[in-house]
Each structure stands twice: as C-alpha cells, then as structure tokens.
Structure 1
Amino acid sequence: MSGLRHDRALFRDPTFVLFFVARSIGTLGGSFAPVALAFSILHLPHGTPGLLSIVLACESIPMVAFMLLGGVVADRFPRAAVLRVGLGLSFAAFVLLGAMILIGWTPLLALGAASALSGTGIALIYPALTGLIPEILPPAQLQEGNGILGIARNAASIVGLVASGAMVALVGGAWALIVGGSLFAVAGILTLWLPQGRRQPGGLSARGVLGDLRDGWREFVAHEWLWVVVAQWSFLVLFFSAATGVVGPVLANDQLGGAGPWSWILAAEAVGMVLGGFFAMRWRPARPILAAVLAGAVAIPVPFLCLGLGAPLVADIVAMAFSGVSFGVFGVLWPTTMQQRVAPDALSRVSSYDALGSLIFQPLGLLIGGPATVVLGARTAMTVCGLALVVLCVLPLISRDVRTVGPGVRTEVLESTDAS
C-alpha cells in the first residue's frame, strides 16, 4: 500500500501529469502507424512487399542519420521545445501520408519524402524524451516514474493498435494515419506548458557539434554494459524490424486474415509490456542489466518462431504477450539505470548513441524483409528471424559488466551536490 501511495504522489505534481498526458497521447498517435501504414501500402494498386520495405526504410534512414544531431540539440536547447518540433514533424508526415493515400496520389518519391519527415521527427523526439524524464522526476522516483510512463505508453499502444486495425478494416488506412497525425499535434500543443529545461546551456558549446558529440561518445563508451547491450540491439532490431515491419504484415495479409489479426498480435505485445512495466516498478534486482537481458532471452524470440512454424493464432498472440512482458521489464530497468549512471548534462547525447546503435541496422532489416519474404516465403523468413533472435538474445551475457553492474547513484550525487 505504501508503494501505491508513493506512485500516486507523482500525480500530485502538475508537471509530471502534463508530461504523462502529452507522452501518452503522442504514443497513441504513433501506434497507429504499424498497422495503418503497412496495410495502406499493401492495399495500393501497385502495393507489394518490396514497396512496403522501401517506404519503411525511407522513415528509418533519416531517423538513424539524424539521431546523434537530435541528441546534441536536446542537450543544448530546451528539451520540451525540441520535443515539440519532433512531434510537429511527425504530425505533418502522418497527415501527408494519409492525404496522399486518400486521394490516390502515391508516387514512390512522395511516399518516401513523407516517411523521411516522420523519421526526422523521431530523431528529435527520442533524445528529448529521455533527457526530460530525470528533469521532471526526483532521483528517488525514477524507477517508479519510468514504470508508470512505460505502462501508460504501452496501454496507449494497445488502444492505438486495436483502433487502427478497426479503422483500416472499416474506413481504410488513410484515415487511420490522419487520426494518428492529429494526436501528434495534440501532444505537441500540450508541451507548450512544460517548463523549460534547467540544465541546458542554451546553445552549442564553443567546440560546436563535433565537440559535443565527442564528449557524448566518451561518456557512452565509458560504460561497458551500455555499449555491449546497444551492440546486441543493433542486430536484434535488424531481425525484429524485418519480422514486425514487413514479414509479419505480409504473412497476416496472406494467411492470417489481414489487418485485424495482425493488430491483435501487436496489441498482445503491448499488453505484455504493460504487465512487465507493473512488475518492473516494484522489482529491485541487484543486477538490473543482467535481469533485463535475461528477460529478453527467455521470451523475445518465441512469437516469431511460433508464427514461422504455423502455430495457431491464439498461440501467436499468447507468445507475443510474453515477449511483451520482457520488453516491459527491459523498458523500465534500462532507462532507469542509464538515467542513474550517465552524467545528466550528457544524457540526451548518450541516449542518442543508444538509439543510433540500436537502430542503425533497422533500415537494412526493413529493406531485406520484402525480398526475403518473396524468395523464402513469409513463414520461412519469419522462422529465420526467430532463430537469429535466439542467438542474439544471449550474446551480451559474455560481458562481465553486463552480468555484474548494479543500480547507479551518479544522478543523485550530482543533484545533491548542486543543491548544496
């Protein structure tokens, strides 16, 4: 009961409540994309798995390319303002994509340009969000706050995925994209009332962007557990993005019944992430990174093997829910440890290196997903992804630092020093 009272206390802070609502609405908007965009492209007169791969890669490439710049900007300028710009770009991208599909004007160049706008927005949103959280939350409540935010994010994903699947079936993917874009706009408007960050210098350092990036890189590589797990995720995301971005929608469209069943599979993952987030809010493992890695090794590959081997839809849904639990645990323990151990004035840059490393091969995964589906067949391609994930999920355990690093105290020490 004391834990619940402690959590409720966060909602007496108006700044946290505003951030909570804005982030949840933004996540709700973003969760329309996996189903709405995939099936909108596949249902075009010239829609193919290859076209879907190209459009998704057009979003992913600028996201990766600009992620480091996004980290520098979010460390040097008010993070709420950076977040607002990213949400604005995402709003424009979704609405443009929806409008083009709605009127039937869908040249590849235009689809790719709008998708690239979305990727640029994400490159600003992620580092700004990561840096804002420890500005809003006191150090003692970081894990609870990350848990609450993660639960809300995943609950919003459930609603968005189910709603987008229903909208695709009833009125088409174009309207689902427009609704998602409108939610980004609402989230961006709410950030107008977030306070300006207190740590940013208000501009680039005297050494410029490259100097700031070098400082962020030194902080990033100083933590072995950090770069080892990021290296793991760079390859994990390659196969995961191929499976969920291209192979899964094609398999669902051809063999599972379309957007509806696929949206339920993705929603099951989000349900699992909610449950994992609740658990991680209360769990205090002595070695949080080891716990996070083991949680992924146990569950992440299973749903893709089930889909590849032709398991019943119910089994696919249950397996994806368990995979989501592991993601939910990871999604609390990982950022909390990073926020505790990384120097606050470098946190957005380090998080951008985290995101860049984790996502660097995502465009490749999306590009090869379509051809792999054509050459191997959807189920075989999915099985290959699942087997690759089995290997990748256990490799970080080779690192002693991953196995032994404990909860950090750096953020608390720095803030207590500042206060004194």
Structure 2
Amino acid sequence: MLSFVRSATTIGGPIIAGIVVATAGPAWAMVVQAIGWVIAIPVLAMVRLPPPDHGGGTTMFHDLRVGWREFWSRTWLWVIVLAFMVMNAIHIGAWGVVGPYIAKNDERLGIAGWGWVVSAEGVGILLMTLILLWFPLKRPLRYGMIGMAAFAIPLTVLGVHPAVVLLAIAAFLAGAGAEVFSTGWNLAMMENIPGDKLSRVASYDMLGSFVVMPIGTLVYGWLLTHSDVETVLVTSGILYAVLAAVTLLVPSVWRMGRPVDALTGRTALADS
C-alpha cells in the first residue's frame, strides 16, 4: 500500500507538471511545486508519533555505531547500496540532466514529448505496484536488481533514437522494473533487519545511495560539453546494467527468500 500511494504521486506529479508546462510555462510549474511544499508543511505538522524507546537512553554516536554494525554485517545490504551509489549518480545525470537537454534540442523528442516519456515511466511504476499486490515477490532482491537493469534500455534509446513513442515504451518498462526493486528492497529491509534498528540502518542506506548524486549532475553537465551525447548515454546504459548484474553474483542477493512463503506458508531461507 505504501508503494501504491508513492506510485500514484509519481505518475500524478509528471502529468500535472507536463500540463502546467504545456499550458502556462515552466515558471508556473515551479510555482505549483512551491505551493505543494507549503501545503505539505501543516500536513506533516499534524503527524503524531509515539516517543522512541531508547532502552534507558543512548547517545547519537551510540546509535550510529549500532546502525553501522547492523549495516555492515549484511553483505547484501552494503553491496547493493554501493552499487546504487554509482547507479543513482548515473540516473540523475543521464536521465535528469541529459534527458531534458535532448528534449529541448532534438525535435524527435521535444519538451512535450519528454513529459509523455516521464509520465510513461510513472505509469509503469503504478501498474507494477498493482500487479505486486497480487503476486508476491519470492526472491525480492534477485528480481529487484533484474528490474533495475531494465533502466539501461531507455538510457540507450535516449542516446540512439529519442523518438517519443519508442522512448516512452522503454521508460514504461524501466518504471515497472524500478518498482519491482523498490518493493523488493522494502521487503528485504523490513523482514531481515530488527525493527528497533531499522531506521538507523535505513539512514546509512539513504546516505550511501544518494551522497554521490550531486556529483552525477556535475559530471554529466561537463560531459555534455565535452563528449558526444550518444556515446555518453550508451556507455551509461551499459555501465548501469553491468552494475545491477554484478550485485546478482553475491549469494545473499541472489538467494534471499522470504521469511514465510506467501503462497504455501512454508518457511523459506533468507540469507542475511
């Protein structure tokens, strides 16, 4: 259900932004975004959570040490986070920087076409979310990383032949694959990490996964002015797929199952 709500906003956001850009212009899209943030502030202020149970009180540094031990003790966890450190930098740079550049300068795509492409990615995410409500992931990390490798397809198409329909189809497949990983990753984290340590481990996950993204935007901005765009994107697609595939060589990534098999009720092995 968390994935469903997230997916609904993922697809709704690009659609609204695309309509605003096409009808009123990019500046008004930023105004709508700012209004959304203003609305979010009082909504979040209404959230009430129970106080954390620190078991007698702990320091921040103690919590960091405990979280690091839990994080580093699970090979599947830090291997995938390391992979995403580079994969997310590629994603934000190639898709988030080079994509809009091509949309603005290549008539085969165009700004409106780019809006359709991003929306198609959101549709793929939403549709896969609905599918996963009915078909549980028995191997969450294996299928998840295979799904992430699909993002190499739109990257390659964007570089070779950025036609709207072809790129939208590729983005749709990549969105579906990304949702398989997103759901699988949440399952792996929630089912294999003790609940009282989950937030601390998730903090290391977020830090490692996103820390290099600003560098990705800088690097790809530089590459746009010094290299052939097609070569940059095709190479990025290959590297992205290789990184996703390499994680599957780790036994705990490939073999991880579910604590309880959703179909038969039998206990499954979950490597940690």
TM above 0.5, yes or no, is: yes
* TM-score, normalising length: structure 1: 0.58
- The residue aligned with 2:264 is none
Contact persistence 1:292–1:334 (CA under 8 A)? yes
- The offset of 1:240, in angstroms, is 1.0
Q: CA distance change for structure 1 residues 243 and 200 in 2, over 3 Å: closer, same or farther?
A: farther
- The offset of 1:200, in angstroms, is 4.4
Contact persistence 1:305–1:383 (CA under 8 A)? yes
Q: CA distance change for structure 1 residues 394 and 296 in 2, over 3 Å: closer, same or farther?
A: same
- The residue aligned with 2:115 is 263
- The residue aligned with 2:221 is 370
Distance 1:187 1:383 in 2: 39
Q: CA distance change for structure 1 residues 406 and 363 in 2, over 3 Å: closer, same or farther?
A: same
Is 1:176 the equivalent of 2:14? no
Distance 1:401 1:250 in 2: 39
1:398 aligned to 249, 258, 262, which one?
249
- The offset of 1:313, in angstroms, is 1.7
- The offset of 1:308, in angstroms, is 0.7
Distance 1:384 1:277 in 2: 30
Is 1:197 the equivalent of 2:58? no
The letter for the 2-side match of 1:289 is L
* TM-score, normalising length: structure 2: 0.87
Contact persistence 1:280–1:333 (CA under 8 A)? no
- The residue aligned with 1:288 is 140
Distance 2:14 2:77 in 1: 31
- Write out per-residue CA displacement over residues 301-330 of structure 1, whole angstroms, 9 at most, x where no aligned residue: 101101111152211000000000011111
- The offset of 1:371, in angstroms, is 1.2
Distance 1:188 1:309 in 2: 43
Contact persistence 1:273–1:327 (CA under 8 A)? yes
Q: Number of aligned pairs?
A: 259
Distance 1:318 1:368 in 2: 27
Structure 2 gap ranges (5+): 261-272
Normalized per residue, the structure richer in helix is: 1
Is 1:322 the equivalent of 2:170? no
- The residue aligned with 1:24 is none
- Write out per-residue CA displacement over residues 17-54 of structure 1, whole angstroms, 9 at most, x where no aligned residue: xxxxxxxxxxxxxxxxxxxxxxxxxxxxxxxxxxxxxx
- Write out per-residue CA displacement over residues 191-215 of structure 1, whole angstroms, 9 at most, x where no aligned residue: 3443323544499x54x32221111
- The residue aligned with 1:101 is none
SS in 2 for 1:283: coil
- The residue aligned with 1:82 is none
- The residue aligned with 1:232 is 83
- The residue aligned with 1:305 is 156
Contact persistence 1:167–1:175 (CA under 8 A)? yes
- The residue aligned with 2:130 is 278
SS in 2 for 1:197: coil
- The residue aligned with 1:188 is 41
Structure 1 gap ranges (5+): 1-147, 410-420
- Write out per-residue CA displacement over residues 324-375 of structure 1, whole angstroms, 9 at most, x where no aligned residue: 0011111112112211221222212211111111112211111011111111
1:207-222 alignment runs, 5 A limit = 208-222=59-73
Distance 1:191 1:200 in 2: 22
- The residue aligned with 2:16 is 163
SS in 2 for 1:398: coil
Q: Give the CA RMSD over aligned residues.
A: 2.1
1:22-61 alignment runs, 5 A limit = none
The letter for the 2-side match of 1:401 is S
1:242 aligned to 65, 82, 93, which one?
93
Q: CA distance change for structure 1 residues 170 and 286 in 2, over 3 Å: closer, same or farther?
A: closer
- The residue aligned with 1:114 is none
Q: CA distance change for structure 1 residues 157 and 285 in 2, over 3 Å: closer, same or farther?
A: closer
The letter for the 2-side match of 1:213 is L
Q: CA distance change for structure 1 residues 377 and 165 in 2, over 3 Å: closer, same or farther?
A: farther
Distance 1:150 1:313 in 2: 27
Distance 1:216 1:264 in 2: 41
Q: CA distance change for structure 1 residues 202 and 161 in 2, over 3 Å: closer, same or farther?
A: farther
SS in 1 for 2:248: helix
Distance 2:54 2:45 in 1: 20
Range that drifts further, 182-191 or 286-295: 182-191
Distance 1:198 1:292 in 2: 34
- The offset of 1:293, in angstroms, is 1.4
- The offset of 1:408, in angstroms, is 4.0
Distance 1:301 1:316 in 2: 12
